[in-house]
Amino acid sequence: MYGGTDRDICKSLVKELGLNISPDALESELEQMCLKALPRAPLHQGAERLLIHLRDNHIPVALATNSTERTVHKHVEARPKLFGIFHHMVCVTDPAVYRGKPYPDLYIVAADRFPDKPKPCKCLVFEDSNVGLKAGISAGMQVVLTPHRPLELRHARKATLVLRNLLDFQPELFGLPPFADTPQLNKIRR
């Protein structure tokens, strides 16, 4: 269920495990636990380096997430400068989003909110789940996959590129400026 919406995960857990709780109540409990843990959540390896590189090279980036606006706000509070790199953020609770991942809605809305409204084939998606991979592909976008756990090979083959982590990403493969030979990794302070 990794990468799914909280609502879908809670519905599945209640049904599959026969839990004596409603999906809404489980989702509320899950959200409370997440809100407490989010400020300490680690970043994906190489994510900060990549975001700084894109910002420094004037490449606009957006966040398209199955997380709720409330959850994303907690991330922003914990790392305001890092999240300030994003041109905009689209959450599953956004009124323009009808369905979360694995449907393409989040990515289509995110692309449409850039001033130049790029064609999907010109967008590059970074994903870490099969659910997100399906969404990016359905949106007609290129997908760089950095899975948390091994995916079935048949799913990983659908990605444009599969990497161990974002430190292995080579921007020049996608027509972007390459990283400097010795990247200056000035961490963004909270």
* pLDDT score, position 156: 81
Name residues whose C-beta falls within 8 Å of residue 36's C-beta, 6 or more positions apart in sequence: none
Residue 70 lies in a domain: yes
Tell me, yes or no, whether 34 and 74 share the same domain: no
pLDDT class of 35 with cuts at 50, 70, 90 = low
DSSP state of 124: E
Task: Count structural domains, the chain.
Answer: 2
Tell me, yes or no, whether 87 and 16 share the same domain: no
Residue 145 lies in a domain: yes
Residue 128 lies in a domain: yes
pLDDT class of 2 with cuts at 50, 70, 90 = low
- What is the reported pTM? 0.79
Residue 25 lies in a domain: yes
Tell me, yes or no, whether 148 and 167 share the same domain: yes
Tell me, yes or no, whether 72 and 136 share the same domain: yes
* pLDDT score, position 52: 95
- For residue 24, report the phi and psi dihedrals to the nearest 5 degrees: -65, -45
Q: pLDDT of 116-165, one tens digit each?
A: 999 999 999 999 888 899 999 999 999 999 987 666 666 788 999 999 89
Q: Which two tokens stand for residue 52?
A: 């700084």
Residue 188 lies in a domain: no
CATH code, domain with 149: 3.40.50.1000
Between 54 and 10, the more confident residue is 54
